[in-house]
Structure 1
Amino acid sequence: MKLTIHEIKIWFNDKTTKTRSLNFLPNKINVITGLSNTGKTTIWSIIDYCLLSENFNIATSISKVTSWFGLRFSVNGREISIVRQSPSDKRISSNIYFAYGDFPLIPENNIKNINELKEKLNKVFGFNNSIKSFFVTNSSNKSLKKEYQFDYRDFLIFCALTDTVIGVRNIYLDNIFYSNLGNIDKLTKIFDLAIGIHDLNTIEAYNKLCTIEKKLSDLEKDKKLYTKKQSKLIERIKSLIEKCKFYNLLGYDISFVNISESITLIEKIIQDKKDSAINSEKFEKLDTLRSKKRQILLELNEIRNFNHEYEKYKNNINKMADSLQPIDYLYKNLNSQLINSYQSKLFLANLSDSLKEIKQSLAKKKNPPIDVQDEEKKLIQELKNIDIEISSLKQSIDNLPDMAEEYIRIGEISNELNNILSSFNVGCNINENKIEAMCKILEKNRKNLLEICGKTKNTRFANINLLNSCIQYYFEKFKNISDFKDCKVEFNMATMSLNIFSLSDVSSSIPIITGSQSNFMILHLCFFLGLHRYLLNTKSDFVPQILFIDQPSKPYFEREDDSDKLLDVFFLLNEFFNTLNKDTDETFQLILLEHAESHYWENHKMENFHLVDEFIGDNALIPKNLLKE
C-alpha cells in the first residue's frame, strides 16, 4: 500500500506565531536531526494522532501551546489532509477537519462523527468488511473462538521502529505505543495478513469455517440432548409396558421394540379396553345420575326452606292480630275506661287502623309466588326414579367387579402415557435422521473449507522462509561485528522476535544470546528493513510503504569506533533505497530521527538522504518562546 507523508503542520494558540511546517519527500530517507528535547520524537505521535488514534502521546508542553495538528499525505496517489484539534483537559478532541487535497488556511471542524471518518479511511486504505472481521481459534482450546476486528490503523505497528523498542532485546513491535494490539493472538493474525499468509479467500474461508463449526457444535449438543431424552423416554415406556403386563393387559412374552411401536401398542390396549368395557358407560351414567340426584336434593332443600319461612311469616301475622284485639273494646268504651283526651283518641285510632290492615291481609289469603307444592311433588317423584336407576346400575356394576377394576387401571395407564407424551414432547423433537443429514452437509462444507485453510500451512512455511532470507540479506551487512560472525537469523512467530543461530553448530536448536543495545538495534533494523523488502516484493495490500525510525544512534557515541558502526547503519539505509525497483514503480518513504549530524551521509554522498530540518540552537519543532511561556 503506497502511503506517502507530504507535510506536518502545526497551528498555535498564539495567533501572532506563524504555523510550523515540516515537508517530506517520497522515495527518500527524510531526516530530522538535532539535540534532545527539541520535539523530534513527537513527529510520529503527531502522524499517529492525525490518523485518528484513540490515544494521545504528544507531550503536554507541546499540546498546551498548540491549537491544531495537521497531516497531509497520499494513499495510492490520492492526496488527503486531516487536521485534528489539540486535546483540552487531557481529553482527545473530536474536532477534525478532513479534505481531499491541501490544508485549509484556518482549520475548523467539518466532521460530525469520528467513526464515520474511520470508515471512510478504511475504504481509502482498501479495507472492506471481508478483512475487518476475522475469527481465530484458541490453540489451547479449540472450542474457544475469538473474533478480531481489523482496520487500517492496526498495520501501522509494522511502520514504526520507536525509541521504546529499538534497543530492547526481544521486543520488536511496539505494542506499548499501540496498546490495542497487546494481545499476541491478534498481533499474530495481523502479521499473517501483512506477510500474505492469509488473503481475502482464506479469511472468508476461516470465517465460514468458524460459523460451520459453531453450527456443528450446536447440532452435537442437540444430538446429545436428544439421545438423553430418548433414553429417559425409553425407560418410562418400558416401565409402562411392565405395568401393563402386571395388570394382565399385555402378555409377558411381549418385549420393547422401539419407541414408536411401543407407544402404538399401549394406545391400542387402551382403546381396545375402552371399546369392550361396557362398564365404562355404566360408570359414566352412574356419575351423571348421582350428579343429577345431588342437584334435585339441593332444589328440594330450597323449596322446603321457603315453605318453612312462609309458614313462620303467617304465624307472626296472626299473633300480631291477636295482640291488637283489645283495641276495639277500648275504643268503644273510651269514656269509661280512659281519660277522654285528644292524645288518647289519636293513639287508639292508630292502633285500630293497624288492626284493620292485618285483618284485611289475612282475609286475602295470598298464596306463595310460585306453586311450590306442585314443584316439590315433581322433584320427589324424579328423585325416586333416579334412585331406582342408581340402584339398578349399582347392582349391574357389583355383578362385574373385575371390569370396574380394569376400568380404573386403564385410566391410570392412559394418564401415565399422556404425561409421558407431554413431558417428552413426543412427535415435536428434531428428527434424528434430519440431524444426521444436516451434519453430513456441514461436514462436507467444513472439509472443503479446511482444504482452503490448510493451504496456509504451506504458504506460511514458504513466506516465513522468504522473509527470513530478506532479513538475512541485511543481517549479513554487519558481519564485521564479532557477535554476528557465522550466524543466521530466523523470525520466531511465537515471540514475534528474531532468533540468532550459529552456522558452525547446525545441530544446535538453541538460539544464541547476544548482549548490548547496539546489537539489539542492528537486529531491529535488519528485521524492519527485511520485512519491508519482503512486503515490497510481495505487493502487500495492508502495510503502508513507509518506515519511521527513531534514533538508531542511541546506543552509540560511547567508544571511538561507534561512529564507524553508525556509518554502517546509514550505508545500510541508503542501500535499501538503491535496491528499489524503479522500473516497477516501487515507492517507499523513510522518516529518520537522529542526533547524528548531516556530515555522516553528506560526506559519503549518500544520495537517498534528505535533510528535512535541524533542531539546533533556537530552531525546534515548537518555538522556544512559546514553551517558556
Structure 2
Amino acid sequence: MNVYIKSILTFNNEGEKRHVDLTDGLNVITGESKSGKSALLEIIDYCLGSSKSTIPKGEVTKFGHLFALILKFPKYHLVVARNRLDDDGKKQMYLYRTSQDIVPKELSMDLFTEENKLNLEQAKIELGREFGITVTSSTENIDAIKNEPRPSVRNMTSYMFQHQNLVASKFALFYRFEDSQKRDQTIKQFPVFAGWVDQQYYNYRLELDELIKQQKRNEKLQQSYSKSTEKIKRDLLNTFKRYYMLVGKTLDDNLSLTKLLSLRKSLPDFTRESYLSEEMEHRHGELKKQREELKQQRYDIEMSIRNLELSHGYGKNYSSNLKSLKAILNHSLHHNDSYDCPVCGQGVKVLTKKIVSLKHSKKWLVEELASVKVQGNEFHLQIHNLSMEKDKLNDEIRRLGNEISKIEEITDRWKKTKKLDNEVVYARAEIDIECKKIEEQQANLRKNDNESDVRIIELNRLIDGYNLNSYYSQAETFFKTNISRVIEKVDFEEEFRPADMNFLLDTFDLYHHDKESKSRVYLSEMGSGANWLACHVSLFLSFLHFFALQEKSALPSILFLDQPSQVYFPEKIFVNAKEKSNDVQKVEQIYKTILEEIELIKETTQFKPQVIVTDHVGELDIEGYKFEDYLRKNWRGNDNKFI
C-alpha cells in the first residue's frame, strides 16, 4: 500500500515537541550511541498499537508525554498519537484524518482532543481499516474453541521492523515471532495482508467447514440407521402382526422394510366374517413358546459361564501350587547333572539319577505353568463371549415379553367390552404413526444429503475462484527469484553462490538450496554475521517489493532497519567513508542495494516505498547516489540528539 511516515514526533507536558521528518524512498538517521536513534523504531511501534511500551527509558521517556506519527496517504494525512503508557496511553489513542496538508513543525497538541480519542482496541481496528484490512474474522473452523483474532496492524509489524538485535540474527527472522501464537496468526493472515482474500472468503470457508461436518454427522446417522434397519423392520413387523391378528389374517415374516411401508396403504379390512378368534390365541402361544426357548438358552449359557468360572478358579489354585513347587525346586536343585561323594570323589549313581529326574520335572513344571497361563486367558475370552450372547438373549426376551403383554392387554379389553372394532382402529393408527416416522427419517436423511452436496459444490467453486493456490505458487516463485537476485549484490559467502534462496509461505522458513549436496541450508546453519545480515536484508526488501506489487495489499510500504552496519563495525560509534576499508565498501553496497530496489519498485508501481535506516555510519560514497540526499538527521557532537 502506498503510504509512508511523514514525521515522528514527541511532545512534552508543555507542548514543546521534537520531530524527525521523513519522505518516501530511503531515509537515513545517523548519529552517536545514545543519541536516540533506536527510540524512533520503538515510538513507531508504540503508535501502531503495541500493548506495551518498549521506548528506551531515559531522556526520551522523561521528555515524552505524547508520541505521534504523521502518515501520508495518496489523498489524505492520518495522525496517530498516544500518551505515555502510564498517562492514559495504555487504554487510549488519538486518530485524526484530514485531506489538508499537515506540516510537522506547525502541529500542536491542540489537535489531540476528546473528539479524536478512541479506546486502544477500537483505534487499532480503525487504523487497520485505513490500511485496507476488511477482514474481521479469519476463523475457518466452526468448532473452534474461540474465534481467530481479527487481522491487525500489530501482525503487520512483523514485515516492517528489523530491530538492532534482529537485523543480523541467525536464530530469528521476524519481529514478535518468539510468541508462537502471534507467529501462527501472522503466517495464516498473509493472504489478508496481500489482499488476496476478503471477509466473504472466510465466510465461505466457515460455512463449508460446517456443512462438511454436518455431512459427516449425517453419514454416521445413515450408518446408524442402516445398522438399526433390522430392528426397525422387526418392530414394524410386530405392529403389523398385531393388526393382522385382530382382523384374523396371517402375515409373511420375510417382508422387507420397503414392502411393509407400502403395505400400509393396502391393509386388509376388518369384517366379522373374516375374524378368527383362534388367531390371537395362536399368536400369544407362539410368542410365549419362543420366550421359553430363549430362557432355556439363557439358562444353558449361565451354567456354562458358572462352570468356566469354577474351572478358572481351580486353574488358579493349580497354578499357585505349581509356582510353590517351582520355588522349592529352584532352591534345592543341584546345578550339575551328577553328584560326587565329597569324601572319596566317586560318583553316586542313585543321587545322580534323582538329580536328572528332578531336572526333567522342573522342565515339565515350567511348560505346565505356561500352559495354565494361556488357558487362563482363554477362560476370560470364553466368559466374555458368553456374556455378550446372554445380553442379546435378554434383549430378545424383553422384546417378546412386551409383545405378549400387548396381546394380553388387547385380550383383556376385548373381554370386557366385546368391541374389537376399536382395537382394530387403534392398531391401524399405530401402523400409520410408525410408518410415517420411518418415512420422515428416510426423507430427511436424503434431503440433507442432497442439499449439502449441492451447497458444498457451490462453496468449493466460490473458494476456488479466489485462486489462492495459484497466488501462493506465484508468491513463492517471486521470493525465490527476488531474494536470490538481491542477495547476490551484497556480502554473501562464496560457498553459497550462486544463491538459490527459498522462502516457504506455510512456515516462513528461509533456506538456501545447495545444488551440490542437494540439501537445504537454513539461516541458523550459515556461518558469519555477514551472511545473516544478507539474508535479512534480501528477504525484507523482497517483502517490501512483493507487497508493493499487490494491487489490494493492506500492508504499508514501510521498512525500518535498525543499525545494519553493526555486523562490520560492532565497536564503532561513527564510521567515516574516508576509512575506505573493505568493510566500508560492503556497507556502501548494502545502501546501494536498498536504493536500487526502491527504484525498481517505483518503475513497476509508480510510487516509492519507504525505507528508514538508523545507523552509526557517517559519510558514505555510494556509487551513483549522494548519501547526503537521504540523510534526515546526523546526531553528532554536543547536544545534537533526538532529545
Q: Tell me the TM-score normalized by structure 2.
A: 0.64
Alignment-mate amino acid for residue 109 of structure 1: E
Which range is displaced more, 63-72 or 242-251? 242-251
CA distance in 2, matches of 1:39, 1:273: 107
Aligned position for 1:37: 34
Q: Which residue of 2 aligns with 1:189?
A: 188
Contact 1:111–1:117 (8 Å) recurs in 2: no
User: Residue in 1 aligned with 2:7?
Assistant: 7
Displacement, 1:527? 0.6
Q: Is the 8 A contact 2:218 2:445 kept in 1?
A: no
Higher deviation after alignment, 526-535 or 543-552:
526-535
Is 2:150 aligned against 1:149? yes
Match of 2:329 in 1: none
* Aligned position for 1:210: 206
Q: Give the whole-Å Cα distance in 2 for the aligned partners of 1:56 and 1:148.
A: 22
**Equivalent residue number for residue 47 of structure 2:** 50
Asked whether 1:233 is paired with 2:244, we answer no
Contact in 1 for aligned 2:240/2:431 (Cα 8 Å): no
Question: Given the alignment of the two structures, is residue 172 of structure 1 paired with residue 185 of structure 2, yes or no?
Answer: no
**What residue is the counterpart of 1:80 in the other structure?**
78
CA–CA distance in structure 1, aligned partners of residues 56 and 544 of structure 2: 30
- Cα distance, 1:475 vs structure 2: 0.9
Amino acid in structure 2 at the alignment position of 1:108 = T
Range that drifts further, 253-262 or 530-539: 253-262
Q: 2: distance between equivalents of 1:502 and 1:529?
A: 23
Higher mean C-alpha deviation, range 541-550 or range 526-535: 526-535
1:161 and 1:409 mapped to 2: Cα distance? 91
Could you say what secondary structure the match of 2:235 adopts?
A: helix
| 2:443 pairs with 1:433 | no
| 1:3 positional shift | 1.2
Q: Tell me which of 59, 62, 68 is aligned to 1:70.
A: 68
1:105-139 per-residue CA deviation (whole Å, 9 max, x = no partner) reads 433332453344444434322232xx33334479x
Pick closer, same or farther for the CA change 1:600–1:260 going to 2, 3 Å.
farther
Is the 2:94–2:123 Cα contact (8 Å) retained in structure 1? no
In 2, the alpha carbon distance for the partners of 1:482 and 1:255 equals 84
- Unmatched runs of 5 consecutive residues or more in structure 2: 278-410, 572-580
Distance in structure 2 (CA, Å) of the matches to 1:166 and 1:414: 85
Answering whether residue 267 of structure 2 is matched by residue 272 of structure 1, we say no
Superposed displacement of residue 550, structure 1: 0.8
| CA distance 1:58–1:408, shift in 2 (3 Å) | farther
Q: 2:553 aligns to what?
A: 541
What is the rounded CA distance, in whole Å, between the counterparts of 2:642 and 2:596 in structure 1? 29
Percent identity among equivalent residues?
18
Do the aligned partners of 2:236 and 2:431 also contact (CA within 8 Å) in 1?
no
Distance 1:579 1:432 in 2: 60
Inter-partner Cα distance in structure 2 for 1:610 and 1:617 = 19
Amino acid at match of 1:575: E
Q: Find the aligned partners of 1:275 and 1:71 in 2 and give their Cα distance.
A: 101
Larger-Rg structure: 1
1:104 and 1:145 map into 2 onto residues whose CA distance is 43
User: Which of residues 451, 465, 475 in structure 2 aligns to 1:452?
Assistant: 465
1: CA distance, partners of 2:625 / 2:129: 43
Q: Measure the CA separation in 2 of the matches of 1:38 and 1:412.
A: 102
Return the offset for 1:486.
Answer: 3.1
* Aligned equivalent of 2:133: 127
Change (3 A) 1:479 1:522: closer
2:24: which partner in 1?
A: 26
Secondary structure of 1:579 counterpart: helix
Q: How far is 1:469 from its partner?
A: 1.1
- Structure 1 residue runs of 5 or longer lacking an equivalent are 280-399, 623-629
1:21 to partner: Cα distance: 1.2
- 1:471–1:531 CA contact under 8 A, matched in 2: no
Q: 2 CA distance for matches of 1:217 and 1:123?
A: 33
Identify if the C-alpha distance between structure 1 residues 60 and 12 changes in structure 2 by more than 3 Å, giving closer, same or farther.
Answer: same
What is the rounded CA distance, in whole Å, between the counterparts of 1:542 and 1:73 in structure 2?
Answer: 14
Distance 1:159 1:206 in 2: 25
Distance in 1 between residues matched to 2:421 and 2:262, nearest whole Å = 17
The answer to whether residue 619 in structure 2 is matched with residue 598 in structure 1 is: yes
Deviation at 1:276, TM superposition (A): 8.4
Structure 1: which amino acid aligns with 2:76? R
The residue aligned with 1:311 is none
| Residue pair 2:204, 2:463 contacting (<8 A) in 1 also | no
The match for 2:307 is none
Which region of structure 1 is more displaced relative to structure 2, 234-243 or 431-440? 234-243
Give the 3-state SS of the residue equivalent to 2:527 in structure 1.
coil
Contact 1:3 1:74 in 2 (8 A): yes
Contact preservation (8 Å) 1:549, 1:590: yes
Correspondence for 1:161: 162
Letter matched to residue 508 of structure 1: K
CA distance in 1, matches of 2:56, 2:273: 95
How far, CA to CA, are the matches of 1:156 and 1:75 in structure 2? 18
SS of structure 1 residue aligned to 2:489: helix
Correspondence for 2:539 among 505, 509, 527? 527
Q: d(CA) in 1 for partners of 2:146 and 2:32?
A: 49
Residue pairs, 1:224-623, within 5 angstroms: 224-225=220-221, 228=224, 231=229, 232-241=231-240, 250-258=249-257, 261-262=260-261, 265=264, 268=267, 272=270, 404=415, 418=430, 421=433, 429=441, 431-449=444-462, 451-452=464-465, 455-478=467-490, 481-503=493-515, 505=516, 508-511=518-521, 513-539=525-551, 541-557=553-569, 561-581=582-602, 585-599=606-620, 605-606=626-627, 609-614=630-635, 616-622=637-643
Q: Distance in 1 between matches of 2:90 and 2:208?
A: 41
- Which one-letter code corresponds to 1:46 in the other structure? I
Instruction: Return the offset for 1:172.
Output: 1.7
For 1:434 and 1:205, locate their aligned partners in 2 and report how far apart those are by CA, in whole Å.
27
Aligned with 1:204: secondary structure?
A: helix
* Alpha-carbon contact 1:4-1:75 (below 8 Å) kept: yes
In structure 2, C-alpha distance between the alignment counterparts of 1:606 and 1:587, rounded to whole Å = 17
Task: Report the Cα offset of residue 489 of structure 1.
Answer: 0.9
Check whether the contact 2:161–2:559 (CA below 8 A) recurs between aligned residues: yes
The one-letter amino acid of 1:8's match is I
Query: Aligned residue for 1:113?
Result: 118
CA distance in 2 between partners of 1:558 and 1:163 (Å): 11
Matched-pair contact (CA < 8 Å) for 2:47–2:80:
yes
The size of the alignment, in residue pairs, is: 485
Tell whether the 8 Å contact from 1:54 to 1:92 is kept in structure 2 after alignment.
Answer: yes
Displacement of 1:514 in angstroms is 1.0
Q: What is the Cα deviation at residue 20 of structure 1?
A: 1.1
Compute the displacement of 1:415 (Å).
8.0
Deviation at 1:8, TM superposition (A): 1.5
Q: 1:69 to 1:403 in 2, by over 3 A?
A: closer
C-alpha distance in 2, partners of 1:180/1:68?
31
Distance 1:584 1:89, change over 3 A: closer
Query: What does residue 104 of structure 1 align with?
Result: 108
SS at match of 1:499: strand
Asked if the contact 2:80/2:93 (under 8 Å) is kept, the reply is no
User: Please, which moves more after superposition, 440-449 or 604-613?
Assistant: 604-613
Partner of 2:322: none
Question: How many angstroms does 1:607 deviate by?
Answer: 6.2
Contact 1:98 1:110 in 2 (8 A): no
Q: Equivalents in 2 of 1:241, 1:39: separation in Å?
A: 92
**How much has 1:436 moved relative to structure 2?**
3.4
CA separation of 1:554/1:425 partners in 2, compared to 1, >3 Å: closer, same or farther?
A: farther
Structure 2 distance, partners of 1:22, 1:274, is 108
CA gap 1:516/1:426 in 2 versus in 1, 3 angstroms: same
Q: Quote the Cα distance in structure 1 between the aligned partners of 2:463 and 2:158.
A: 30
| 1:524-565 CA-partner distances (Å, limit 9, x unpaired) | 001111222233344452221111111102222269743333
Structure 1 residues 90-116: Cα deviation after superposition (integer angstroms, max 9, x where no partner): 961415353425433433332453344
Secondary structure at the aligned position of 1:510 is classed as: strand
